[in-house]
A and B are shown apart, each in its own frame.
Chain A
Amino acid sequence: MAVPPELRYSKEHEWVRVEGGVATVGITDHAQEQLGDLVYLDLPKVATAVHQFEKLGEIESVKAVSDIFSPVGGEVTERNEEAVKAPELVNQDPYGRGWLVRLTLSDASEVDKLLTAEQYEELVAQERAE
């Protein structure tokens, strides 16, 4: 399971990469592995305002559907249309071509409420032990 050290993570298994006030959001390698083959993404339209830890969209695998929660608040500036057309990109490259949306950050301090890579790895280890 890949957990890039430069990213921050939510307890709901989303990741965020912040670059110059823009946050790129996706789901983690562990999340895609647990969900299995993804076949459908429902993402918010551009200009939608989202709040931290609130529902961002839905992601659906052959077997099950899950909500995606936004790890940070802001306004959606871009959605990954390539991944909407081919959700398997999220399975293949969850931190790269399988990103989901980009947001302009409304409050940069929200990032501090997220887990570091090390903390996220501990969380996954705990969940696996249960």
Chain B
Amino acid sequence: MPDGESLRLSPLDEQHRALRARMVPFAGWSMPLQFAGILEEHRAVRNQVGLFDVSHMGRLYVSGHDAAGLVSRAGTYDARRLEPGQGHCSLLCQEDGGILDDFYAYRLAPDRFLVVGNSVNADRDREQVRGLLKPQMGARLQDRQESSVMLALQGPRAVETLARVVGPEAAQGLPRRRCTETQWQGEALFVSRTGYTGENGFELVTAVEPGRALWEKLVAAGVQPCGLGARDTLRLEAALPLYGNDIDTTTNPWEAGLGWVVTLDDGADFVGRAAVEAARAQVERHLACLMALGPGIMRSGCVILQGGEQVGRVTSGGYSPTLEASIGMGYLPSPLAAEGTNVEVEVRGKRLPARVVPRPFYRRPATLSSSQKPATS
């Protein structure tokens, strides 16, 4: 494991240490694993509100008159469809259709986008986008992974908390997957109604100094600081794929259940389109959600069996604090990926009975406000 000196530090490193976070190496960064404890942080996000430092995520600003063309070429979702203030998930693919990263494209203005990708892939995302850049696009790239802070404020009380700390104009009336820019301490603050927890909430980007102040103000307002541990249990309950576990260069969007982020119907010409289109007709396996029926915890890498034969492997697995049982995801041959299929998962030499259940494992309770309606993806 690399030592502290070779790791990149979050702009909030000092704040994390002041809160006595347990720091771990993650994708070349030193990031908090936990503050109060994974279960407490998980429950805070499900019941109240939690705050994550996600400054390790890649942040690439693309601007210029054909910025939309460039972002569309780079990913499976046709970003030209986005209106200013809209965001959408997309996939960066290889020519053979393998997934290089999943990213979120936000259209800030007709000629300006923010592209947020996984920290582990930030370098190759940037190189791929740069490689697609043509002089006639008049597009510019600005990498702000190191010069800004990114936070995720997540939970049923996220709206009222952001309204209280930053102001009502930043928080209220922003529908899901929408984004806006406002002011915070004299600097631009990007606010989007997105997240990776299955809860209502926001992702926020601002410059380093105001970002530190925002973190401190939110924590002082009673928001629970959360680490990577809770981020993982929350996203697993929401059945959101994790790059490197559930999707990678050997998986295609269809089998991963990510067909909704692929645009094929309007001639969008993204890298890997031919292969992705061809793969659609021959999907043989699906990413299934598994719930353990007995004690024991499935983890990534565990073999999935049926009738004693290996039928797949767990790609993400762990303990669900909400369901109080082990849950996981893994690719199964399509006939076995149907709800109700019984399988076994080999956990440290023992066979744990499990069942294919509907995706996601957890869906937040419906609210009366239409703007908080869950995405129909």
Q: Of residues 79 to 127 in A, which have CB atoms within 8 Å of B's CB atoms?
A: 88, 91
Tell me if A40 and B299 are in contact (CB < 8 A): no
Q: Are B38 and A63 in contact (CB under 8 A)?
A: yes
Q: Chain A: how many interface residues by the 8 Å CB criterion?
A: 13
Residue on B nearest A84 in the bound complex, by CB? B295
Whether B37 is near chain A, meaning CB under 8 Å from some CB there, is yes
Q: Which residues of B contact A36 (CB under 8 A)?
A: 22, 34, 37-38, 229
The answer to whether B348 and A37 have CB atoms under 8 Å apart is no
Complex interface residues of chain B between 17 and 61 (CB less than 8 A to chain A)? 22, 33-34, 37-40
Does A39 lie at the interface of the complex (its beta carbon under 8 Å from any beta carbon of B)? yes
Chain A residues positioned under 8 Å from B296 (CB to CB)? 40, 42
Residue B202 CB within 8 A of the other chain: no
The verdict on A62 contacting B348 (CB below 8 Å), with A36-B34, A36-B37, A40-B296 known, is no
Contact of B321 among A40, A60, A62, A63 (CB under 8 A): A62
* Interface set, chain A 35-59, CB cutoff 8 A to B: 36-37, 39-40, 42, 58
Known: A36-B229, A37-B37, A37-B39. A62 touches B299 (CB 8 A): no
B211: chain A residues within 8 A (beta carbon): none
Contacts of B34 in A (CB 8 A): 36
With known contacts A36-B37, A36-B38, A60–B297 Cβ distance under 8 A? yes
Give chain B residues whose Cβ lies under 8 Å from the Cβ of A37: 37-40
Flag whether B318 is at the interface (Cβ < 8 A). Answer: yes
Cβ B319 vs Cβ A40 within 8 A: yes
Q: Which residues of B in the span 285-341 have a Cβ within 8 Å of any Cβ on A?
A: 295-297, 299, 318-319, 321
Q: How far is the CB of A51 from chain B (nearest CB, A)?
A: 19
Q: Which B residues have a C-beta under 8 Å from some C-beta of A?
A: 22, 33-34, 37-40, 229, 233, 295-297, 299, 318-319, 321, 348
Q: List 17 A-B contacts (CB under 8 A).
A: A36-B22, A36-B34, A36-B37, A36-B229, A37-B38, A37-B40, A39-B297, A39-B319, A40-B296, A58-B348, A61-B38, A62-B38, A62-B321, A63-B33, A63-B229, A63-B318, A65-B297
Given A37-B38, A60-B297, 11 new contacts (CB under 8 A): A36-B38, A37-B37, A37-B39, A37-B40, A40-B319, A58-B348, A61-B38, A62-B233, A63-B318, A65-B297, A91-B37
Enumerate the 6 nearest inter-chain pairs by beta-carbon distance, A residue then B residue, closest first: A37-B39, A62-B38, A39-B319, A37-B37, A37-B38, A62-B319
